Amino acid sequence: MTVAGAPGSFPWRRTAGAALASTQEMGLEGRGGHASAEPDLCYDRPMDSLSLDQDLAEADGLLLGDLDAPLSRKASGAYFTPDAVAATLVRWAVRERNDRLLDPSCGDGAFVSAHPRSVGVEQDAASARIARERAPSGEIHVADFFAWAERTAERFDCAAGNPPFIRYQRFAGETRARALRICRGLGAGFSGLTSSWAPFLVATAALLRPGGRMAFVIPAEVGHAPYAAPFLDFAVSRFETVHVVAIREKLFPNLSEDCWLLFCDEFGGSTREIRFSALDRFVPSDAPPVTFERIGVDAWRGTWRKRLRPYLMPEPAREAYRRVADSAEARRLGQVAAVGIGYVTGANDFFHLRPSQADRLGIPEAFLYPTVRNGRVLSGSVLTRGQVARWRAADEPVLLLRLQKGEALPPAVVAYLDGEAGRRARTAYKCRVRSPWHAVPDVQVPDYLLSYMSGQRPSLVRNDARCTATNSVHCVRLREPTSGRRLDAWGTPFVDLSCEIEGHPLGGGMLKLEPREAAQVVLPGPGQVRAGDEDACREAVATMRRWRHRAA
């Protein structure tokens, strides 16, 4: 097995004494393109809420250790690529027999085995051995790719592969610090939310010769995730052609993550457009689709706020949406209301009581507050006191133990806090780090409640019952008492489309709206949406739902 090459000059090499980038993120690498459900996009949500989130379902991550120890697929982000996909990407990337091809995370060798003059880098020794058997004429380096990239002097005609997809919560340590340092040196400034695949592609591009090209499997998050935008900014500044191919049917049927394809050509140039093709299914070929839409970089950055997903829908719907959204009469939800998350107890079973439990403990009603614990209970347009009464009659755990800092507590409450359940609860992280541990912060009574994960559409419900809410739903507080009239448009085809555009898909056909995304949902003024535009919006909503694998 080939050992990593001798050090060579590299544009991002650190000078002696250079400080390591300060980071709280994680470290790793793997191979094959991972797929979990989204993710990364927990911009405003405390980590406690991830218990309801599917975003980390398949991203277990990896802490760097013994290179001879086999890594699990989840740990390394490795989901090996079907041979037909690998062959398509390699056939396009390789133009001449003598071309030198790099796969920065070669896994079991699907890409390096497709071309005899290949170099693969793989952290997992067990996978590297398989790659070596499949590609006996290639070079397989067992190494951390980013460390290897800093050392190597070799440059490549082309690159192809399926980089590891490790979410930011698991992509940490020295590997991540090195990856982000490399990217900063190349002009790509990623946020702390970036997943591993994007730095892999930036570092790979820098190893190409002038005129080089690369073809990769990438997560469909490139179409909507803010953390991915710096990669596309980098790509259009370094390649003459950038072509993103969206594929609706899953390349990895057993995974929740959708994957698209990326083709970049003529390294060393630049472009003012992104080519975009949308296909129902992958078909093996020798080149990217000849039919594509030319998306101006300025339009991508401005009109659609660095999102490609709007280009999945028909042009008439995009024009109708843009005409209303850009008008002076329209408002964003964030202009008429503040959108945020609910409270975090740190110990839900302790702080949420059933009526029978509260009666048995003798806890006074003054210390109990009705609460909405998840979005599944939000139906219709109004949450009434009658609905809360039905929850109580069913003895649901919907009473929050609401204790204020510094207030005098009756004996029954003190006994509950000091009992066995209280002693366990106070050891939970959120309880340990606040004082006093039993005073849950950020309890509020919003004007409206908004579900943040949904199948068809997010539910926006007027809170006539005056309930509080956990961080499993969003709390919407009107900026002015009269602003509620704007929210009457919720559930119309136009607002449904705005939720699809501003939100993002999760696994299982779900749509997710983070607070920042919800704040961008467009509320049209009276009479702004024409009858013909409503039909276009309905068609576009059906299209967007199909792309997130939800029946229209």
Q: What is the pLDDT of residue 510?
A: 94
Is-contact 105 118, C-beta < 8 A?
Answer: no
In 455-551, at which residue ranges do the beta strands (DSSP E only) sit? 460-463, 468-469, 473-478, 504-505, 511-512, 522-523
Question: How far is Cα 373 from Cα 512, in angstroms, rounded to an integer?
Answer: 17
Helix (H, G, I), strand (E, B) or coil at 353: strand
pLDDT of residue 79: 60
Task: Compute CA 38 distance to the chain's CA centroid, rounded to the nearest angstrom.
Answer: 4
Tokens of 120: 């693969």
Q: How many CB atoms lie within 10 A of CB 111?
A: 35
Q: What pLDDT is attached to residue 552? A: 61
Phi/psi of residue 451, nearest 5 degrees: -70, 140
58-63+72-312 CATH, one of 3.40.50.300, 3.90.25.10, 3.40.50.150, 3.40.50.2300: 3.40.50.150
In this prediction, residue 289 carries a pLDDT of: 97
**pLDDT at 174 (0 to 100):** 86
Bridge-based pairing state of the strands 511-512 and 504-505: antiparallel
- Please state the domain extents for the chain: 58-63+72-312, 340-547
Give me the average pLDDT of each 10-residue run along the chain (552 residues): 34 32 28 34 32 30 33 50 94 98 96 98 95 96 96 98 85 88 95 91 98 98 95 98 98 88 99 98 96 97 95 95 95 98 97 98 98 91 96 98 96 98 98 97 97 93 98 97 93 97 92 96 94 93 96 70
Helix (H), strand (E) at residue 216: strand 208-219
R_g (Cα) of the chain, nearest Å: 26
The predicted model scores a pTM of 0.83
